Structure 1
Amino acid sequence: MKKSELKSFLDEKVDIYNNPNFIETDPIQIPHLFTLKEDIEIAGFLVATIAWGNRKSIINNGHRIMEMMGNSPYDFVMNFSEDRAASLSNFVHRTFNNDDLIYFLKSLQNIYKNHVGLENVFSKNAEIHSLQPAIHHFKKTFFELPHPSRIQKHISDPFKNSAAKRINMFLRWMVRNDNAGVDFGIWKSISPAILSCPLDVHCGNVARKLKLLKRKQNDGKALAELDIALRKLDPNDPVKYDFALFGLGVFERF
């Protein structure tokens, strides 16, 4: 397939999947419950953190976290204290448990009180061509409070050759304004041109079949390779093709 043909094919798939109908079956429906910027950020970050495994389970547990926070995530985070931790005691999603959730809420409180919020932590470390260094620095900030070392596994580090799929998905939600009502585009300080595709099994397999990706592992090196390929197709909005790759893999069994 020629580059022009590939672009037309993928653009057509973006149009099919990048629309409000996508929200009904995707974890992005959780932050779509809210209108306040900070509520959207916190809800999006927490559900993206648990976004591995069965999608129905991810969505159900995302709703459960919001309910445990009184459906006011920003207010709950800013007023969180040890005496409120008991209300989270029964939460578990795969290997992410209530102890992890409690630390995440403490860390988010620290970020909003002492680092001007999530957007600032990412934007101040964004580089001209990539957000991956910003993810690395975000992880250092996120774990600056005392914590059990095991909790660190829930935040990936691109500097350790991770594709950081879940954080890249969260960043797509916050940064990319798709004018279709799916991605939020509420972070204006970061350009969508430097976003990276949330590289998972489905996207990786489809990208290889379309010869957008040669590397066999879904790791940081593969992500860098895919970045180059997608930015050639659309330098201003490369991760719109996440919808095409994901849709082809999950819904069309491409």
Structure 2
Amino acid sequence: MDIISIKEFLDEKVATYNNQNFIDSDPIQIPHLFSKKEDIEIAGFLMATIAWGNRKSIINNGHRLVELMGGSPHDFVMNFSSNDSELLSGFVHRTFNGSDLIYFIQALQNIYGNHGGLESIFTKHANISSAQQAIHEFKKIFFALPHLARTEKHISDPLKNSAAKRINMFLRWMVRSDNAGVDFGLWKDISPSLLSCPLDVHSGNVARKIGLLNRKQNDAKAVMELDAILRTLDAKDPVKYDFALFGLGVFEGF
């Protein structure tokens, strides 16, 4: 397909999947339980963190996280103390366990108490061409407290050649704003044009099949390659095509 045909095809698929029907089968349904900005951010961040593996399991564990936080993520984070650790110690999603969750809550408490919240960090460090530097800086701040080395694997660093799929997905949720009602558009000071596609096995395979991506590995270099061409399709909102690539791969087996 030529580039015009590819754009027309993908725009059609964006319309198919970027609507409220998508929410019912996606982990984004968990932050959609909330209306308070900080609750949406925290629930979204934790959901993005565990968003790998079986989708049903991800969503079920997301509901369990909400229950553990008493239905109020921000209040839970800000009032968390070591006395609450036992409540979280039994949580497990694949390799993300209770000790990881306890640290994540402590780190979020530090971020909201001392750094102005998640939005403030990412907004401060996003540069004029990409949000990937902001992810790198965020990880440094997030792991500023004493922690187990194993916990660091749950936040990827694009400057170490990771595709950082889950945190790029979280940024899409927080930054993109349209009338479809899927992404939240809460963070107004980061342009959607700076976002990168949440590249995973599904979106990567589809991108290669239709000629958007040549690199075989799903890494930071592949993200940069895919970003470049998606920005030629829509410079203002390139990651809307995540809906098309993901939908084609997961729901249509393209």
TM-superposed deviation, 1:67: 0.4
State the partner residue of 2:176: 176
TM-superposed deviation, 1:101: 0.3
1:121 aligns with 2:158: no
After superposition, the CA RMSD in angstroms is 0.5
AA of the residue aligned to 2:19 = N
Distance 2:46 2:178 in 1: 22
SS at match of 2:218: coil
Question: Structure 1: which 5+ residue stretches go unaligned?
Answer: none
4+ residue segments displaced more than 4 Å: none
Question: Structure 2: which 5+ residue stretches go unaligned?
Answer: none
1:33 aligns with 2:33: yes
Q: TM-score, normalised by structure 2?
A: 0.99
The answer to whether the 8 Å contact 2:89/2:102 transfers is no
TM-superposed deviation, 1:148: 1.1
AA of the residue aligned to 2:224 = A
State the partner residue of 2:82: 82
Deviations 1:70-118, CA, capped at 9 Å, x for gaps: 0100000000000011111211001100100000000000000100000
State the partner residue of 2:160: 160
SS at match of 2:197: coil
TM-superposed deviation, 1:179: 1.2
The answer to whether the 8 Å contact 2:131/2:195 transfers is yes
TM-superposed deviation, 1:246: 0.5
AA of the residue aligned to 1:157 = D
Alignment of 1:1-254 (within 5 A): 1-254=1-254
TM-superposed deviation, 1:253: 0.8
SS at match of 2:127: coil
User: In the comparison of the two structures, how many residue pairs are matched?
Assistant: 254
TM-superposed deviation, 1:215: 0.1
Q: TM-score, normalised by structure 1?
A: 0.99
SS at match of 2:188: coil
TM-superposed deviation, 1:178: 2.3
Distance 1:200 1:119 in 2: 24
TM-superposed deviation, 1:28: 0.1
SS at match of 2:125: coil
